[in-house]
Structure 1
Amino acid sequence: MKRITKVIIAVLFIILTLATAISVVLCYKTQSIKKDNMEIYLDKQKKEFIDKSGAKLPSVELDGKTYVPLEAAADLANFEVKWDKNQQAIMLADKSSYKYRNEAIKGKISVRHFNRDAAVKMLQHFKEAYPNIEVILNYPRDEIYENKTESLITSGENAPDVIAVESLFAKRFIEMPGAFLDIGDIAKAYRGNMIPYTVQIGTDQNGVLRALSDTAAPGAIAFKKGVAKKYLGTDDHEKVKVMFSTPENMLKTARLLKEKSGGNVSLFAGFEDLLRMYIFGRSQAWVVNNRLTIDKVMLEYIDVAKTFRDNKYESGIDQWSSEWSAAIADDEKIFALICPTWGIPWILGSNDKKAEEGGRWGLVNPTFPFFWGGTWYGIYSKSPNKDAAWEFVKFFTAHKDMMKAWANENQELPNNLGVISQGSPNVNKIVSTNVFEFFEPLVKDIKGDTITRYDEAIYKEFVEAMKLYLDGSIKSKEDMVGVFKNNVKLKLKDIEVQ
């Protein structure tokens, strides 16, 4: 959706505050009408007002007010200037916004989404591009989203045309008979430009593509630069990257950090930071040939997690707790945490109020390439509005301009290799990194073929068993594995557990 700003000529100077932080420093000794020595800064970089021929443009002072050339100032802020005859006003439109519009396709669809705020914004974008497709939003109120969605699909009564599913339970619906339409043929022209793991997850066990994702959520390790420099002797990204490059190096770093900080700083907040990476180090899925399978990497993880807890290399803090938030904001307390793309604004930025100032956080490659989160969109297999539903899914998962605009607006990584290769428009202030450039070489190594429809339930049981083992309620690794297996057997009746 284009951002449109009405500009009143009498206050043209306000243009400098729109959309992007542009600061103006007046450097002069005497007032004059024409000012050639005005300094303009965009994101701390010195800029100039120039016309279409490349000539430098001056500002003008009149009656004690400073006026700047509107079109040149707008261009710096990535806006274009237009005249609206009906409103008799100058309009500014964001250049980064998409300009697609299709009035030919008509119809009516219902879209079910677990995130109402995201869905409302999507509908606003879609309405501008497809003004003749009416969209009815269906979102959860007091029900469990997954269970209610499954009930709607099973009954067929009031089943939505488009269904959004989150990464943890995406496979539950992708593998569900009769749930999602086979979109292999209609998506064939687009899937090659998508991040491989997102296509793997959207594909069922028979190789049929049934859902597409609009964004990707690859993960990294975010680290506190101040802690790195103070206790580990460097905050250089390449050197810190080596510290997390292998499980052995990570353990060595944790040991050194504890020694140098006198035990005041832990490597991680809790065991789940390690777990979310190790999960993607597996070569086998949790369920193979309908049988629970514990990959050797997970058995290694149990030992590593126990070593971390016993030696206080992690702080024993649960994710999403108030203590976890406080540890992120603290100048020390913890050194690092795992951070997906969306976590930069929503984990680092939301919990550490100083993060936006820059210079506090850095990003390095994870020990095992992983992702955390994401949304997939499927079309109900019996939808009477399949064509219009496909236009909705295609618009958000394959339309490059829309994906770029959505990613910029929501600080996400678009699921489009072509868009990612162009780099993000700005360096992210929180981590002082061009996020697209950082994650581009990492996304192709993430495994999506080890994800099954049972993963949400199995992950929960594994976490609960690990908590009991790490706090001493379960005394041995063997007993922990036994408790885990028994709980999976009780919860998932349709798989074999030995």
Structure 2
Amino acid sequence: MKKNYLKKVLLIAMSIAIVGSVITGCGSSTSDNKSSQTSFTQKDAKDYKGTINLWSFTDELKSSHFIDQFNKEYPNIKVNLTVIPMDNNAYTTKLSSVLASGSGAPDVFTSEVAMVNKYVNTPYYDNLSKAPYNAEDIAKNEAKYTVDVGRNADDKGIRALSWQATPGGLFYKRSLAKQYLGTDDPDEISKKFSSWDSLIATGKELNDKSGGKVKLLPNYSEMFVVALGSRTKGWVVNNKLVIDDKMMQYIDIAKQIRSDNEDAKFNSWSAPWSASMAGAVNGTNVLCYALPTWGLPFVIATNAKNTSGDWGLAKAPAAYYNGGTWLGIYSKSQNKELAWQFIKFMNSKKFQTWDSKTNGDFSSLTEVSQEFSNSDAGKNAFCNGQNISKTYNEIVPSITGKLITKYDETINDKFQNDLDSYITGQKSKDAFLKQFKQDVKTAFPDIDVN
């Protein structure tokens, strides 16, 4: 979904309503995560009958009418949706509890990017690569990184699939670009953002030409997601903390952005950060924001409703993605056949075409994303008619989904919090790195941080 960090999950710290119903327990199956069936009986959609219980951290499945669309095809499968918000880890706490006990667990449950690695590497998601699912037939037509994210690390079997891809770029204000950079053309602006050096040079140009009234970024930390996307190694490899060379480069880039006064010092997701999308805050304008697909409809368009047509999408110095939602089947569910119909439907061309047109999601199916990239369907009015699907489609092949670890959410937070002490001059670079390693060690004693 566009969500998570995801479109709705960060759902953007906007609130998520709790919808849905109570869940009944699932039954027995094999405990080694293999499906107890070798085949499903092929039927007409209307001939599948029963109920599946679905848990999620976002109400998008209901509010965006995904379940309604499913029921148009499968009128006799009732979907009981229970939404548990992410606040204070409520979703993962409750989900982990019922999965471990085997009592009250849902037939299908979602994972977002911060938790998906955890669940695909447990026995709780069924192996969708095996019969009767044979999900590899679907996966071969989907964005590779989205499939890789949902694979088990040991046997490489698919445990979860996503109906969306969430590549990111830099959304910029055309009027400011035209006035101070001489062009608002996405291709030309992308050239100005094509490397860290050219990005910083563009920030200096903005400062000089605007007299310091227009900043390149709302905050230096805006580029953290871009830096993560540029890595070749994840945070933890063979139980050892790895600070990729690209992250070491980012430390210096972040320091330079702040030292050169190229950011407005509006913390991400803060009130000034949101307000700056609509116009100047305390006399300071911001040129661009690092956001993925869901950032346009759920962040920019929400915070700056009257700026439609004044935005463009440029490529960042590195390809990245942010957010996403994956669906998998509980390995002990008694309703696997019905559950698979739901997941299969969510990964169908018919649904994803409808979703892309209706909700602005960027399809995980290559056939659908290319269709939008090569037609007027991909043009976006908020971005002045730019075919943003084409830009997304060009970014996706460079994204890797193999770097996620179960430690990421905590380590990302530690890194950003500790880095701020260096950027703001409270600690030296060496002291920051030492603190970061200590914090990781405290959180995960078994990880080698030396």
Asked whether the 8 Å contact 2:378–2:390 carries over to 1, the reply is no
2-side partners of 1:310 and 1:435: how far apart? Answer: 33
2:274 to 325, 328, 335: 325
* Structure 1 CA distance for aligned equivalents of residues 266 and 391 of structure 2: 28
Matched, 1:340 2:283: no
DSSP 3-state at the match of 2:352:
helix
How far apart, in 1, do the equivalents of 2:243 and 2:78 lie?
Answer: 47
Partner of 1:8: none
Match of 2:441 in 1: 489
Q: Show CA shifts across 1:221-249 (max 9, x none).
A: 11111111211222222221111001111
Counterpart AA for 1:497? V
The aligned residue for residue 143 of structure 2 is 195
d(CA) in 2 for partners of 1:165, 1:101:
29
Local SS of the residue matching 1:440: helix
In the alignment, structure 1 residue 267 sits paired with structure 2 residue 216:
yes
- Aligned mate of 2:314, from 357, 364, 389: 364
The within-5 A match list for 1:94-133 is: 102-119=45-62, 121-133=65-77
Cα distance in 1, alignment partners of residues 425 and 102 from structure 2: 48
Aligned to 1:425: 377
How far, CA to CA, are the matches of 2:183 and 2:321 in structure 1?
27
Q: Distance in 2 between matches of 1:238 and 1:178?
A: 46
Q: Using the alignment, how far apart are the partners of 1:234 and 1:116 within structure 2?
A: 40
CA displacement at 1:426 relative to structure 2: 5.4
- The amino acid across from 2:301 in the alignment is G
Residue aligning to 1:286: 235
Q: 2:112 aligns with which of 166, 173, 179?
A: 166
* Cα distance between partner residues in 1 of 2:148 and 2:277: 33
Cα pair 2:378 2:389 within 8 Å, conserved: no
1:122: how far off?
Answer: 2.3
* Letter matched to residue 332 of structure 2: K
2 CA distance for matches of 1:381 and 1:494?
29
Secondary structure at 1:328 match in 2? coil
Aligned to 1:376, what secondary structure does the other structure show?
strand
Does 2:384 align with 1:435?
A: no
Q: 1:223 aligns with which of 147, 163, 172?
A: 172
The question of whether the paired residues in 2 share the 8 Å contact of 1:101 and 1:128 is answered with no
Secondary structure of the 1:339 match is: strand
Unaligned runs of 5+ in 2: 1-42
Partner amino acid, structure 2, of 1:169: M
Q: CA separation in 2, counterparts of 1:285 and 1:184? A: 25
Distance 1:137 1:232 in 2: 49
Identical-pair percentage: 33
Q: Partners in 2 of 1:111 and 1:458 — Cα distance? A: 30
| Aligned AA (1:427) | K
Is the contact between residue 52 and residue 107 of structure 2 (CA under 8 Å) also seen in structure 1?
yes
Aligned-residue RMSD, C-alpha: 1.7
Aligned-partner Cα distance in 2 for 1:386–1:427: 39
> For each residue in 1:391-448, what CA deviation from the matched residue of structure 2 results, as whole angstroms up to 9, or x when unmatched?
1111102x10111112222111011100111116252111122232221121111111
Q: Which is bigger in relative contact order (C-alpha 8 A, separation at least 6)?
A: 2
Q: C-alpha separation between the residues in 2 aligned to 1:415 and 1:181?
A: 21
Aligned position for 2:153: 205
1:180 is displaced (CA, Å) by 0.6
SS at match of 2:46: coil
1:384 aligned partner, one-letter code: Q
Q: Secondary structure at the match of 1:304?
A: helix
Q: Which has the higher strand share?
A: 1
1: CA distance between counterparts of 2:389 and 2:312? Answer: 15
Q: Which amino acid aligns with 1:199?
A: V
- Stretches of structure 1 that go unaligned for 5 or more consecutive residues are 1-99
Paired residue secondary structure (1:273)? helix
CA–CA separation in structure 1 for the residues paired with 2:285 and 2:224: 20
How far apart, CA to CA, are the structure 2 residues paired with 1:310 and 1:221? 21
For 2:263, the equivalent position in structure 1 comes to 314
* 1:15-414 correspondence runs (5 A): 102-119=45-62, 121-140=65-84, 144-175=90-121, 177-185=122-130, 186-206=134-154, 207-330=156-279, 333-356=285-308, 358=309, 360-397=310-347, 399-414=348-363
Equivalent residues of 1:164, 1:376 under 8 A apart: yes
Task: Quote the Cα distance in structure 2 between the aligned partners of 1:237 and 1:116.
Answer: 34
CA distance in 2 between partners of 1:117 and 1:436 (Å): 21
Q: Distance in 1 between matches of 2:387 and 2:188?
A: 19
CA drift of 1:361 comes to 0.9
CA distance in 2 between counterparts of 1:159 and 1:322 reads: 38
Q: Distance in 1 between matches of 2:328 and 2:62?
A: 15
For 1:61, the equivalent position in structure 2 comes to: none
- Shift in Å at residue 117 of structure 1? 4.0
Q: Which of 425, 434, 438 lines up with 1:472 in the alignment? A: 425
Amino acid at match of 2:174: K
Q: Check conservation: 1:138, 1:160, Cα contact below 8 A.
A: no
How far apart are 1:261 and its partner, in Å? 1.1
Aligned pairs, how many?
Answer: 394
Aligned AA for 2:49?
Answer: K
Residue 330 (structure 1) shift: 1.0
Matches of 1:337 and 1:312 in 2, distance apart? 16
1:237 partner amino acid? P
Q: Distance in 2 between matches of 1:162 and 1:271?
A: 39
Larger-Rg structure: 1
User: Residue type of the partner of 1:369?
Assistant: A
Deviation digits for residues 149-193 of structure 1 (CA, Å, limit 9, x no counterpart): 111111111110101111121111112x21111001320211111
Distance 1:407 1:113 in 2: 21
Deviation at 1:266, TM superposition (A): 1.0
More displaced, 106-115 or 422-431?
Answer: 422-431
Q: CA–CA distance in 1 between the matches of 2:190 and 2:60? A: 36
CA contact 2:379–2:389 (8 Å) conserved in 1: no
